[in-house]
Chains A and B, each alone.
Chain A
Amino acid sequence: MDIVRHLACFVAVAEELHFGDAAARLGMAQPPLSQRVRRLESELGVRLFDRSSRRVALTDAGRLLLPEAREIVARVERLPDLLAGTGGGGAATVRAGVPGDVGPAVLAALFAGFRAEHPGVRLVPAAMGTAAQVTALLDGTLDVGLVHHPVTIAGLGFGPVLVRHPGVRLAAGDELASWSAVHLADLAGRELVLVPREAEPGLHDETLAACRRNGFVPARIHPAADEGFALGLVLSGTAVAFGPPAETPGTVWRPLAGAPLAWRSSTAWRGEPGPHVTAFAALAVRVLREDAGMTDDGATPARRVAPRPATGFLA
């Protein structure tokens, strides 16, 4: 039997939990689909679904098989991409996801660098947040991504984690603009523009937690997936935003004293990375270090502590 095709049928039924819908998705009639699932069950010697007249449910064995089956199907689907370009057929393709906050200069360095190093490989970039990338990596529609941490999803592999410490963007007229560095607590009472939680759940939650720990509870949070929208809110003095140094007329960027926010990012892929994914990931790490000023997580120098008698040990 063609076990991969049978597994693809199993995955479709497991995701739809309806034989008719799964058959429609696969573009086949329902009876042969049911037959394939039964043959897979007899081949493996287990029942994968509990079928009642009303509904279809995965058995424990089915639940166990599903991620493995997805992986196998996706890998087989990727085989043509992997081999393309080696035998003179079509060009190999790498589908790469990058979050929108990376910045044009860094993106340019990444895309141009990859094209220069791998002229035979077609790079298909897509702007997407971490949550969308994780979904796309898992279902095989994305080969490699650049994600913001924390991401706690089984089945993904990650490159080295890099960290950057964002500063704050203020309207030029903000009273804090005359200070060389801003403390999070100084922002108290202000409104905050932040990437939407749906797009960057880990970064969103960690950023807000750090703000609260340091005495900044935003009066209101404006979710902004779009850089222009965020900039508009800052320019108008409505809200402040966190991010890398940026020179935009009408706004000022100031570092946050003590670097209380740490935004962590890494490359990500599913399963064993192929050569093109490895190449893209290595380039991405290099570009983030050199062009985005990110440093290795844990390589950030230990915070200096200047001892004071009143706040030291046993005082």
Chain B
Amino acid sequence: MKAIEQVFRSAGVAGWLHVADVDGDGEVALGADEPVVLASVFKVPLLLELHRQADRGLLDLAAPVPLPAGARTPGGTGLSAMLDEVTMSLRDLAYLMIAVSDNTAADAVLAHVGIDGVNALLDDLGLAETRVVHDCRDLFAGMLADTGAGDLTALAEACADPAMTARLAALAPARTNRSTPREMTRLLGMVWRDEAASPASCAAVRRLMGLQVWPHRLASGFPFDDVAVSGKTGTLPTVRNEVGVVEYPDGGRYAVAVFTRSWSTAQNQPRADAAVGAAARIAIDHLRAHI
């Protein structure tokens, strides 16, 4: 797909993409089997495992979880940015973890579900290249250690230096939460076809991914009121990812996984964000034109 490569190139990123028809064999692949850094995209298998454990009666989604004021995981959104103690149900934490990528909420959910539980889910679904090895807190601790930065602001400034960015284990797939574009679209396809868990649980996962607020990546490629876009972003220095499903009013639905690394270390690169949506749009248009 030359057009997709062109989009990535002109946005100043390297990109790995897999787009698959949820209900058919059509696919568009660009480095689809390469290992990629998930960043916050790991919250999708975590969300699914939360619901699978609820399906099995291992936990209660409505159970209240107290979150003390002093023990927040770093992050710029949701509970990570809030100051006071709250008590929230597991499923509402799951909402914050997906809708605004709340790291504190994600770690609280992961503490209940367990890393082993998430990896067992991935084994069950046959997603051997997808692994979760740490929570958000450990991921940040690793980046602080790698750069010698004291806090999030210092870390952001340190990561403006390409040499510093190169040191981050969090940007090496083998040393962090990882997957491949193809395994991510397989996971989404199973969720959208009600194969990954009970139909009610799959529906809950779909609902939360549809409530994600970010309009700048995948959704930006589909500026159409009648097209539904559900997704989950993943962001780290130079990393801009999103996986999701795009649903057309004629019933066509397409699982999308786009992972990018920018050449520049600048944090604000709207064109790089938009390239995720533009590449997905080209791939989906291709699938819809060549049925």
- A residues engaging B (CB < 8 A)? 178-181, 257-258, 303-306, 308-311, 315
| Closest Cβ–Cβ distance, residue A262 to chain B (whole Å) | 16
Contact B226 A180 (CB under 8 A): no
Residue A258 contacts which of B211, B224, B286, B288 (CB distance < 8 angstroms)?
A: B224
Instruction: List B residues 228-261 near A (Cβ within 8 Å).
Output: 228-229, 247, 249
Contacts of A178 in B (CB 8 A): 285-286, 289
Specify the chain A residue showing the minimal Cβ separation from B224: A258
A179 contacts B224, CB within 8 Å?
A: no
Q: Is the interface of A mostly helix, strand, loop or mixed?
A: loop
Q: Quick one: given A178-B289, A179-B289, are A308 and B99 in contact (CB under 8 Å)?
A: no
User: CB of B105 within 8 A of chain A?
Assistant: no
Q: Tell whether A308 pairs with B224 under 8 Å between CB atoms, given A178-B289, A179-B285.
A: no
Q: Is the CB of A306 within 8 A of B225?
A: yes
Query: Contacts A257-B224, A306-B226, A308-B219 given; 18 further ones with Cβ under 8 A?
Result: A179-B285, A180-B285, A181-B285, A258-B224, A303-B225, A303-B226, A305-B226, A306-B225, A306-B227, A306-B228, A306-B229, A306-B247, A309-B99, A309-B211, A309-B212, A310-B213, A310-B215, A310-B219
Q: Could you say which of A258, A305, A306 has the most chain B C-beta atoms within 10 Å of its C-beta?
A: A306
Interface string of B92-121 (1 = CB under 8 A from A): 000000010000000000000000000000
Distance, CA A305 to CA B289, complexed state (A)? 23
CA distance A311 to B219 in the complex (A): 10
8 A-B pairs with least C-beta separation: A306-B228, A180-B288, A310-B215, A180-B289, A309-B213, A304-B226, A179-B285, A305-B225
Query: Can you list 18 A-B contacts with CB-CB less than 8 angstroms, sorted by A residue number?
Result: A178-B286, A178-B289, A179-B289, A180-B285, A303-B225, A303-B226, A304-B225, A305-B225, A305-B226, A306-B225, A306-B226, A306-B247, A308-B215, A308-B228, A309-B211, A309-B213, A311-B215, A315-B213
Q: How many A-B residue pairs have CB under 8 A?
A: 43
Report which of A181, A303, A308 forms a contact with B229, defined as CB distance below 8 A: A308
Q: How many residues of B contact A (CB 8 A)?
A: 19
Residues in chain B near residue A310, CB distance under 8 A? 213-215, 219
Expressed in whole angstroms, the Cα–Cα distance for A303 and B225 within the complex equals 8
* Chain A residue with Cβ nearest B281: A179
CA distance A178 to B227 in the complex (A): 20
Using Cβ atoms and an 8 Å threshold, which residues of chain A touch B215? 308, 310-311
Cα distance, A257 to B221, chains bound together (Å): 14
In the complex, what's the smallest C-beta–C-beta distance from B216 to chain A, in angstroms? 9
Which one of A305, A308, A311 has the greatest number of beta carbons of chain B within 10 Å? A308
Query: Assuming A258-B226, A309-B213, A310-B215, is B286 touching A304 (CB within 8 A)?
Result: no
A61 smallest CB distance to B (angstroms): 55
CB-CB nearest in chain A for B99 = A309
**CA gap between A258 and B249 in the complex, in Å:** 10
| Chain A residue nearest to B220 in the complex (CB) | A310
Beta-carbon nearest neighbor of A310 in chain B: B215
Task: Kindly state the separation between the CA atoms of A304 and B229 in the bound complex, as whole angstroms.
Answer: 14
Shortest distance from the beta carbon of A313 to any chain B beta carbon, whole Å: 13
B279-291 interface mask toward A, CB cutoff 8 Å, 1 = contact, 0 = none? 0000001101100
Query: Which residues of A lie under 8 Å from residue B214 when comparing CB positions?
Result: 310
